[in-house]
Amino acid sequence: MLMEWNDKQPIYRQLRDLVVERIIDGSFPEGEAVPSVRQIATDYQINHLTVAKAYQELVDMGLLETRRGLGMFVITGAKKSLTEQEQQKFLMDELPAFVDRVKKLGIDVGMVAQKLREAGENS
């Protein structure tokens, strides 16, 4: 299970972001253990210290906790917290950039809103 790491940011941050995505999408459920540092290091062929640094950031963010002798676990409420953060990030950063692009392209905002409603109904 090799992963393509990009050069835009450190591997530990990419790994941290991957774990965040998996918490949000439910692949790593709240209250459940995440794969061990050793397992991730082996699976992704990266240094165990890199994995430990990513996991420590997730602990510092209040998303994972260490249970002595058992490993790292997703904290209850982590998914809700992350979802709320991502919603705010979208509304503050991504949506204004999207609206700006729509305007630059000369697309009618009402038509975009209609397309979004239709897409929402079809999903």
**Per-residue pLDDT at 2:** 54
pLDDT (tens digit per residue) in 8-29: 899 999 999 999 999 999 999 9
User: Do residues 34 and 74 touch, judged by C-beta distance below 8 A?
Assistant: yes
Least-confidence region, from 10-19, 28-37, 44-53, 113-122: 113-122
Query: What is the residue extent of each domain of the chain?
Result: 11-76, 79-122
Residue length, the chain? Answer: 123
Q: What is the CATH number of domain 11-76?
A: 1.10.10.10
Q: Would you say residue 4 has pLDDT above 90?
A: no
pLDDT average, residue stretch 46-72: 95
User: Which residues does 92 contact at the CB level (< 8 Å), separation at least 6?
Assistant: none
Q: How far apart are the first and last CA of the chain?
A: 30
